[in-house]
């Protein structure tokens, strides 16, 4: 059995470490450092050493880069100190002043803010599009369109995009594609196999798995890798050594945590769909979710984050009464950790290209590793508060 035939779980236990370089210790050590010293002038001037200076990489950083590239089927990977930083790095790689950018209306809202605060200032034109646009995307292509951004499923609303179709149409015009693949991770969706040039992951979520780390990763296909690496090296916005160590540790258990998140989220979502207060579940594995058929075709699984649409008639005050008094579900942003979370949301607050008008109030749930019956009890008591408040 050769290394290449190992299944993903096996790979995740082995990637990015080499015990022979580590005095036999199992894990890659934390290298901290700025200066690298050279034995000879030749080696200093002609780039002959493995490492050159701290901003250009350390063995700890390189271990994580290589592991992520292997997992993602990418030519190369670089990391940023946050997921949003990775989104910014990807966009800076493919865009220049005067270019036109296509952004899905369902994009992670801080990404939209980066477009407004940074890209617009540098003369990039931005058009928001319906994430379910399909082949009509070509009508939005302009002569100066350089980048098509994708996020599948969409943040909070969970539309699944037809990534193979969109990347194929973009490629025909020489337009670069970037996907925010945070929800599925490379374990459930192979972005580069589906045609994406750059793939962004907020490692803050499932790679960390413990809500104690901020990290972003950008992986690139062979064609786009030199541009990504050059942009990254030009700025030297590096992740910290300890953060890379924690990310490598998270990588070892990522598969089992994701599979467990999937199982638990499906159990809770199925149960919720039968509760009288609930109108619909927004979860790509559910038939009513926009793009469900595409999810079935392209994805290997679903993770632990989904949304709920309540039936009409509940007031915002009733929802606050429900959420203010949850016993297990914490109220807060981010997700992918071991603990369950809930946030109320309303996409109508920021959408510009499409109408967001569900029949009732909406919440997003992240399902953690608590006992599922305990979670359902907490939710059922919350739903009782919601309906009692009327």
Ligand X SMILES: *Cc1c(COP(=O)(O)O)cnc(C)c1O
- Please tell me the distance from the alpha carbon of residue 92 to that of residue 90, in angstroms, as a whole number: 6
C-beta of 216 vs 284, nearer to ligand X:
216
Q: How far is the CB of 216 from ligand X (least distance, A)?
A: 6
38-46, 79-87, 223-231, 286-294 -> range binding ligand X (CB under 6 A): 79-87
Asked if 83 touches ligand X (CB under 6 A), the answer is yes
Binding to ligand X by CB under 6 A, coded x per residue (else -) over 113-152, reads ----------------------------------------
Asked if 243 touches ligand X (CB under 6 A), the answer is no
- Which residue number is nearest to ligand X in terms of Cβ? 83
For the chain, helix, strand, coil in percent to 5 are 40, 15, 45
Asked if 208 touches ligand X (CB under 6 A), the answer is no
Asked if 214 touches ligand X (CB under 6 A), the answer is yes
188-196, 198-206, 218-226, 324-332 -> range binding ligand X (CB under 6 A): 198-206
Q: List the structure tokens of 285.
A: 């594995």
Q: What is the dihedral of CA 122, 123, 124, 129, to 10 degrees?
A: 120
Q: From the list 61, 78, 108, 161, which residue makes contact with ligand X (rule: CB under 6 A)?
A: 108
Q: Following DSSP, what letter does each residue of 60-110 receive, concatenated? A: HHHHHHHHHHHHHT-SEEEEESSHHHHHHHHHHHH--TT-EEEEETTS-HH
Q: From the list 12, 61, 79, 84, which residue makes contact with ligand X (rule: CB under 6 A)?
A: 84
Asked if 291 touches ligand X (CB under 6 A), the answer is no
Q: How far is the CB of 372 from ligand X (least distance, A)?
A: 23
Asked if 153 touches ligand X (CB under 6 A), the answer is no
Asked if 180 touches ligand X (CB under 6 A), the answer is yes
- Decide: 227 and 179 in contact? Cβ < 8 Å: no
- Please tell me the distance from the alpha carbon of residue 310 to that of residue 322, in angstroms, as a whole number: 12
Cα–Cα distances (Å) from 131 to 155, 184, 230, in that order, read 11, 17, 30
Q: Following DSSP, what letter does each residue of 101-157 receive, concatenated? A: EEEETTS-HHHHHHIIIIITTTT-EEEEE-TT-GGGGGGG--TTEEEEEEESSPTTT
Q: How far is the CB of 173 from ligand X (least distance, A)?
A: 26
C-beta of 69 vs 204, nearer to ligand X:
204
Q: From the list 71, 90, 101, 202, which residue makes contact with ligand X (rule: CB under 6 A)?
A: 202
Q: How far is the CB of 7 from ligand X (least distance, A)?
A: 27
29-37, 81-89, 232-240, 373-381 -> range binding ligand X (CB under 6 A): 81-89
- Please tell me the distance from the alpha carbon of residue 147 to that of residue 145, in angstroms, as a whole number: 6
Of 144, 138, 149, nearest in space to 104 by CA: 149
Local structure of 318: helix, strand or coil:
helix
Helices 59-72 & 241-273, crossing angle to 10 degrees? Answer: 30
Number of residues counted as binding ligand X (CB under 6 A): 14
Q: How far apart are the first and last CA of the chain?
A: 63
Binding to ligand X by CB under 6 A, coded x per residue (else -) over 327-366, reads -------x--------------------------------
Local structure of 325: helix, strand or coil:
coil
Binding site for ligand X (CB under 6 A): 82-84, 87, 108, 155, 180, 182, 202, 204-205, 214, 216, 334
């Amino acid at each position: 059995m050769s290394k290449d035939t190992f299944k993903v779980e096996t790979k995740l236990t082995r990637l990015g470490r080499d015990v022979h370089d580590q005095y036999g210790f199992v894990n890659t050590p934390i290298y901290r450092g700025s200066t690298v010293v050279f034995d000879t002038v030749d080696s200093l001037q002609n780039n002959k050493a493995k490492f050159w200076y701290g901003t250009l990489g350390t063995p700890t950083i390189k271990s994580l880069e290589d592991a992520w590239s292997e997992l993602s089927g990418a030519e190369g990977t670089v990391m940023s100190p946050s997921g949003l930083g990775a989104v910014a790095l990807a966009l800076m790689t493919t865009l220049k002043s005067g270019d036109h950018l296509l952004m899905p209306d369902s994009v992670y809202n801080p990404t939209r803010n980066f477009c407004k605060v940074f890209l617009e200032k540098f003369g990039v034109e931005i058009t928001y599009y319906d994430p379910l646009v399909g082949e009509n995307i070509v009508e939005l292509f302009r002569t100066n369109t350089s980048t098509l951004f994708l996020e599948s499923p969409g943040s909070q609303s969970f539309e699944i995009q037809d990534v193979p179709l969109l990347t194929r149409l973009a490629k025909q015009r020489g337009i670069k594609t970037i996907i925010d693949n945070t929800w599925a991770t490379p374990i459930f969706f192979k972005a580069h196999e589906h045609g994406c040039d750059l793939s962004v992951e907020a490692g803050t979520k499932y790679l960390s798995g413990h809500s104690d780390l901020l990290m972003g990763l950008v992986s690139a296909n062979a064609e786009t890798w030199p541009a990504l690496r050059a942009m990254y090296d030009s700025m030297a916005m590096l992740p910290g050594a300890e953060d890379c160590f924690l990310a490598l540790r998270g990588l070892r258990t990522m598969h089992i945590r994701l599979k467990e998140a999937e199982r638990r989220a499906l159990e809770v979502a199925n149960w919720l769909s039968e509760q009288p207060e609930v109108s619909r579940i927004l979860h790509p594995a559910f038939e009513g979710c926009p793009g469900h058929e595409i999810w079935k075709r392209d994805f290997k699984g679903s993770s632990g984050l989904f949304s709920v649409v309540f039936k009409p008639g509940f007031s915002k005050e009733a929802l606050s009464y429900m959420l203010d008094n949850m016993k297990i579900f914490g109220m807060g942003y981010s997700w992918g950790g071991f603990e369950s979370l809930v946030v109320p949301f309303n996409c109508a607050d920021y959408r510009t290209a499409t109408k967001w008008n569900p029949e009732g109030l909406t919440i997003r749930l992240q399902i953690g590793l608590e006992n599922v019956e305990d979670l359902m009890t907490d939710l059922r008591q919350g739903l009782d508060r919601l309906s009692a408040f009327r």
